[in-house]
Amino acid sequence: MTMTEATTSQPGIKRFIGMDWNIGALKSADRRYWSFVALLGILITLGVMAWILVMTKGGTVMAQRDGFTWGIWFANYMFYVGLAAGGLVVYASVHLFGAEQFRPLARLAVLMAGCLTMIAVLGDLTDLVRVWRIYWFALTPNLSAIFVYTGSAAGIYMVICFVDLWILITGKGGEKLAYRMTLIALPLAIYLHTTTAFVLALNKSRELWSTAVMVPIFLTSAVASGVALLLIVAYIMQRFHVLEFKPSMFRSLSTLLATVMIFDLFLLVAEIAFVYWPSSAKIGHTLRFSEFLTGPYAGIFLPVLILGGTAFALLSRRKTRHIPAVQVTASALYVVAIFFKRYTLMSMGFAIGTLGQPQAPYFPSLVEGLLALGLLALAVLFVTLAAKVLPLRVPEHEHGEEVGAPHAVASGDPALESGAAL
Amino acid sequence: MAVSLWGWPERIARSPLVRALLASAILTLTMFILLPVVPAIAGQASTGKLLFYPCTDCHPVTVDEVTGKPSHPIPIDFKGHGIVLEGHDVLGKDEAACLTCHDDSEHNPGLLRAVDGTRIDVKTGDIARLCQKCHFEKYNQFKQGTHGKHLASCVAAGCHDPHTPQYIYVGPLAPFLGTGFQIKAVGQEREPFRPIMPPPLPPATVTPLWYQIVAGVGLFLVLVIVVGLVRPAVVERLKR
- Mutation choice for B interface testing from A352, A357, A373 by most B CBs within 10 A: A357
Greater confidence (A113 vs B7) lies with A113
Window 121-160 of B: residues touching A by CB (8 A cutoff) are 136-137, 140
Asked if residue A354 lies in contact with residue A205, where contact means CB atoms within 8 angstroms, the answer is yes
Pairing of strands B182-184, B167-169: antiparallel
> Does the pLDDT of residue B167 top 50, yes or no?
yes
Q: Is B90 on the interface with A (CB under 8 A)?
A: no
pLDDT band at B77 (very low <50, low <70, confident <90, very high): low
Other CB atoms closer than 10 Å to residue B67's CB: what's the count?
Answer: 8
The answer, yes or no, to whether ipTM is higher than 0.90 is no
Pairing of strands B167-169, B111-113: unpaired
Alpha carbon of B233: minimum distance to chain A alpha carbons (Å): 12
Report the pLDDT averaged over residues B64-82.
Answer: 66
> Does the pLDDT of residue A308 top 90, yes or no?
yes
- Mutation choice for A interface testing from B143, B205, B223 by most A CBs within 10 A: B205
Query: Are B225 and A38 an interchain contact pair (Cβ–Cβ within 8 Å)?
Result: yes
Burial of A164 (0-12, 13-18, 19+ CB in 10 A): buried
Q: Residue B205: list chain A partners with CB under 8 A.
A: 60-63, 365-367
> Does the pLDDT of residue A191 top 70, yes or no?
yes
Query: Are A50 and B218 an interchain contact pair (Cβ–Cβ within 8 Å)?
Result: no
Candidates A132, A154, A76; CA nearest to A372 is A76
Report the pLDDT averaged over residues A338-357.
Answer: 87
- Express each pLDDT in A192-204 by its tens digit: 988 988 988 888 7
Window 52-81 of A: residues touching B by CB (8 A cutoff) are 53, 57, 60-63, 65, 67
- Mutation choice for B interface testing from A30, A31, A34, A35 by most B CBs within 10 A: A35
Between CA B55 and CA B204 the distance in angstroms is 33
Name every residue whose Cβ is closer than 8 Å to that of residue A306 and which is 6 or more positions away in sequence: none
Q: Pick A63's closest partner by Cβ from B196, B202, B212.
A: B202
Count of positions (residues) in chain A = 422
Give the chain A residue whose CA is nearest to the CA of B223. A39
Between CA A63 and CA B207 the distance in angstroms is 11
Q: Is A283 on the interface with B (CB under 8 A)?
A: yes
Report the pLDDT averaged over residues B153-177.
Answer: 64
The pLDDT mean for chain B works out to 72
The region, left, alpha or beta by phi > 0 then psi within -120 to 50, assigned to residue A103 is: alpha
Q: Is A28 on the interface with B (CB under 8 A)?
A: no
Sign of CA dihedral A165, A171, A174, A177: negative
Greater confidence (B3 vs A233) lies with A233
Asked if residue B157 lies in contact with residue B120, where contact means CB atoms within 8 angstroms, the answer is no
Q: What is the pLDDT of residue B181?
A: 58
Q: What is the pLDDT of residue A107?
A: 92
> Does the pLDDT of residue A5 top 60, yes or no?
no
Query: Are A370 and B208 an interchain contact pair (Cβ–Cβ within 8 Å)?
Result: no
Query: Are B225 and A35 an interchain contact pair (Cβ–Cβ within 8 Å)?
Result: yes
- Express each pLDDT in A135-170 by its tens digit: 888 899 988 888 889 989 999 999 999 999 999 898
Beta strand ranges found along A206-277 (DSSP E):
none
Between CA A114 and CA A133 the distance in angstroms is 24
Greater confidence (A89 vs B195) lies with A89
Percentage of residues in chain B having pLDDT higher than 70: 57
- Express each pLDDT in A244-257 by its tens digit: 899 989 999 999 99
Residue B54 preceded by cis peptide, ω within 30:
yes
Q: What is the pLDDT of residue A8?
A: 54
Alpha carbon of B101: minimum distance to chain A alpha carbons (Å): 17
- Express each pLDDT in B97-151 by its tens digit: 888 888 876 667 888 888 777 888 877 788 888 888 888 777 777 777 666 555 5
- Mutation choice for B interface testing from A370, A371, A380, A381 by most B CBs within 10 A: A370
Between CA B214 and CA A167 the distance in angstroms is 42
Other CB atoms closer than 10 Å to residue A41's CB: what's the count?
Answer: 13
Q: What is the pLDDT of residue B17?
A: 84
pLDDT band at B183 (very low <50, low <70, confident <90, very high): low
Q: Pick A356's closest partner by Cβ from B136, B201, B218.
A: B136
Q: Is A361 on the interface with B (CB under 8 A)?
A: yes
Alpha carbon of B140: minimum distance to chain A alpha carbons (Å): 7
Burial of A61 (0-12, 13-18, 19+ CB in 10 A): buried
Q: What is the pLDDT of residue A289?
A: 86
> Does the pLDDT of residue A34 top 70, yes or no?
yes
Query: Are A60 and B202 an interchain contact pair (Cβ–Cβ within 8 Å)?
Result: no
Query: Are B215 and A46 an interchain contact pair (Cβ–Cβ within 8 Å)?
Result: yes
Between CA A328 and CA A236 the distance in angstroms is 10
Name every residue whose Cβ is closer than 8 Å to that of residue A213 and which is 6 or more positions away in sequence: A267, A270, A271, A274
Query: Are A67 and B136 an interchain contact pair (Cβ–Cβ within 8 Å)?
Result: no
Domain boundaries defined on chain A = 37-396
Q: Which residues pair with B167 in a beta bridge?
A: B184
For residue B10, the surrounding DSSP H or E stretch is helix B10-13
Between CA A299 and CA A20 the distance in angstroms is 48
Long-range pairs of A208-212 with CB within 8 A, sequence gap ≥ 24: A208/A275, A208/A285, A208/A288, A208/A289, A208/A348, A208/A349, A209/A345, A209/A348, A209/A349, A211/A271
The region, left, alpha or beta by phi > 0 then psi within -120 to 50, assigned to residue A129 is: left
> Does the pLDDT of residue A33 top 90, yes or no?
yes
Classify domain A37-396 by CATH number: 1.20.1630.10
Greater confidence (B191 vs B45) lies with B191
pLDDT band at B43 (very low <50, low <70, confident <90, very high): very low
Q: What is the pLDDT of residue B42?
A: 37
Beta strand ranges found along chain B (DSSP E):
111-113, 119-121, 167-169, 182-184
Q: Pick A53's closest partner by Cβ from B198, B201, B211.
A: B211
Give the chain B residue whose CA is nearest to the CA of A366. B207
> How many CA atoms are closer than 13 Å to the CA of A304, on its beta-carbon side?
24
Count of positions (residues) in chain B = 240
Query: Are B226 and A67 an interchain contact pair (Cβ–Cβ within 8 Å)?
Result: no
Candidates A91, A348, A341; CA nearest to A221 is A341
CA A43 to chain centre: 20
Asked if residue B165 lies in contact with residue B88, where contact means CB atoms within 8 angstroms, the answer is yes
Alpha carbon of A95: minimum distance to chain B alpha carbons (Å): 38
Q: What is the pLDDT of residue B39?
A: 44
For residue A16, the surrounding DSSP H or E stretch is strand A13-16
- Express each pLDDT in A218-232 by its tens digit: 889 999 999 999 999
pLDDT band at B172 (very low <50, low <70, confident <90, very high): low
Name every residue whose Cβ is closer than 8 Å to that of residue A363 and which is 6 or more positions away in sequence: A63, B202
For residue A236, the surrounding DSSP H or E stretch is helix A214-239
The region, left, alpha or beta by phi > 0 then psi within -120 to 50, assigned to residue A71 is: beta
Between CA A106 and CA A181 the distance in angstroms is 13
Asked if residue B43 lies in contact with residue B182, where contact means CB atoms within 8 angstroms, the answer is yes
